[in-house]
Structures are given as C-alpha cells and as structure tokens.
Amino acid sequence: MDTLHPFSRLTPDFLLDAVESTGLRASGSLMALNSYENRVYQIGIEDGPPLIAKFYRPGRWSRAQTLEEHAFSLELAERELPVVPPLLFDGASLLSWQGFDFALFERRGGRTPELSDPEVLEWLGRFLGRIHAVGAIAPYAERPTLDADSFGHEPVRFLLESGLLPAELLTPWRTVAEQCLQGIEAAYARAGKVALIRVHGDCHAGNLMWTDAGPHFVDLDDSRMAPAVQDLWMLLSGERTEQSRQLADVLAGYEDFCEFDSRELHLIEALRTLRLLHYSAWLARRVDDPAFHTAFSWFNTQRYWEEQILTLREQVALLSEPPLWPV
C-alpha cells in the first residue's frame, strides 16, 4: 500500500527538483519537520537561508481553497501582522511539480509560548484581535465553515459506517456521540446567530512561535469560516477557574482591536467537543498513509475507543454547565 500512496513519491530527489523548479538552487541539505497532514521540510538554499517547503496532501483542499488561505495569509502580512505567508514566484504562491502542489515559506524560529503567563496571553489576544478584524472584512468564498454538521454530524456518521469501532463498544460510543451532538446543538441555540469570520482555525500552542519580539502565527492550513472564539478557546487549559482567568487575559488584549461577542462563550465546550469528534474521523480517514502507523500506532485500539467514550461523557457534562466567563 505504501507504494500506492502519493506521499511515497516524495523522495529527496523529487523534493529538491521541485524546489529548483522555482529557479532557486538547493544546497542538497534536507530535513523532514514534524508534520503529518501535509509533508513539510527544511531545505537548504545556495547563497541564502534555508526555506520551508510544504507539500500539500492531495485531495484535501482544492487549488482554489488553498489559494484563498494563501491570499488571507498575504493580506495579514501586508497589514504587518505576525504570520508566515507563502513566498511568491512570478506572483504565484501555490506551485506545482509533477502533480504535487507545494509552497515555500521563510524559516521563522521561536519557542512555544508560556500560556500560563498573563502578559503572553494578553499579547496573543491583541494579535488575534487584529487578525480577526481583518478576517471579518470579507468571507471565504471557497473554504468551508466549521459548524455542527461538518465537524460533528458528518464525522459521527462516517465513523459509525466505517466498521472501525469494536462491536462491543459500538453502542456505547454511538450513544455518547449522539448525546454530544444534542448538547452541541443546544449550545448553538443558546448562542444564537453569531458572526462567522475567517479564522486561523487551529490556534494551538504548536502553531504559535514566540520570540523576544513577540509571537508569530504559522500554518493557516485549517483556516475556515468560524466564530471568533474558535481561535481563543485553544489557548485555555487547566481547571475552570484557571481557564476563566486565562480567558480574561486573552480578551483584555483582544478587545483593544476587535469587539468580542460574549454570546460566543456558549460555544467553547461545543467547539471543543466538535474537535474531538472530527479528530477521530480525521484519523480514520488517514489509515492508508504510509506514515500513519508510526505516528498513530495507538489509534483504533480497544483502549483508544474506551478512552474516547470516557472523554465524550465528560464533554456531555461540560456542555450542560453555564458558559465559561472571564474573571
């Protein structure tokens, strides 16, 4: 199966030839970086610093959808926001080599931000407020929306039809998944009609690089239309009191540049639950990848599904609690 998967074609020679198709001269230095959904490499360049090459997973996004994300990144960079946009070659950001779409980026270093530090959270909030102010200017035309159907109902249907769930756990998982979907729909009903904007979409600590000059945001590959709070809740962790304090710190910076609709606080646990359901289905759809079993050897074991049932039961309880509130 490995030889049939498109990523099996990404040999060192293929990668270097792709980069040199832009007119750059590769030094021959090549290092695979920690990425799975796409394949990402640091590639040495003659007479210049190394660049980051991202080879996109075939079939995940259309070219139009990828170009929309690139345009958003470039729009943010033009407004001096700390994102890492793709480099342009003769005006093109999305490049092709022998059937593979790829893009090149500057290499930007940094460390994981200290999300327990109130000043760091406020700083991140300010930049997210600026990003969302731009994201609200115009909607995506091609990219989808993160909602209860795309991240909840559809993944649940897929998993129930996949045959992956152990027979003895099928009913318990279906029951708790349906309870989650009911709780999610109720949370959306309580929030009412909230604005959908272009967001980063996957704003966890691994996609934030921190330097002495502040943060920069990388990997907008999951960017889509969603409520603004989608980019805020992943900065929160710990017990409820800790998350409330962290939320207050983030919003203290955020609202310097963008008004936050407090009704979206009803969606925090709903969005967290949607991410859990979507992630299980995402894993199930990637089992044919040649690197899957090395990266996710724990997936589809009895223990995995048992832990998922317990986690989703906890989310059912959280979905019925009052919304998190900044203090």
Q: Which residues contact 19 (CB under 8 A, 6 or more apart)?
A: 26, 43, 45, 51, 53, 104
The closest alpha carbon to 196, from 236, 109, 138, belongs to 138
Contact 184, 318 (CB under 8 A): no
Crossing angle between the packed helical segments 154-162 and 268-284, to the nearest 10 degrees: 30
Overall residue count recorded for the chain in this entry: 327
Active-site residue identified among 147, 202, 221, 289:
202
Tell me how far apart the alpha carbons of residues 307 and 311 are, in angstroms, rounded to a whole number: 6
Instruction: Tell me, yes or no, if 202 is annotated catalytic.
Output: yes
Q: Is 47 a catalytic residue?
A: no
Q: Which of 40, 13, 16 minimizes the C-alpha distance to 26?
A: 16
Give the residues across from 105 on adjacent strands: 52, 86
**How distant, in Å, are the alpha carbons of 85, 216, 243, 256, 315 from that of 320?**
40, 35, 17, 31, 9
Identity at 256, one-letter amino acid code: D
User: What are the residue ranges of helices labelled H in the chain?
Assistant: 12-20, 63-78, 118-135, 148, 154-162, 167-191, 230-233, 240-254, 268-284, 292-295, 302-319
Do 115 and 246 meet the contact criterion of CB atoms below 8 Å apart? yes
In eight-state DSSP terms, residue 323 is P
**CA-CA-CA-CA torsion sign (255, 257, 259, 265):** negative
Edge-to-edge strand list for the sheet holding 48-55: 26-32, 39-45, 48-55, 100-106, 95-97
Strands 100-106 and 197-199: unpaired
Identified catalytic residue from 17, 117, 212, 219: 219
Residue where the block lists tokens 């009704």 = 263
As annotated, the active-site residues are 202, 219
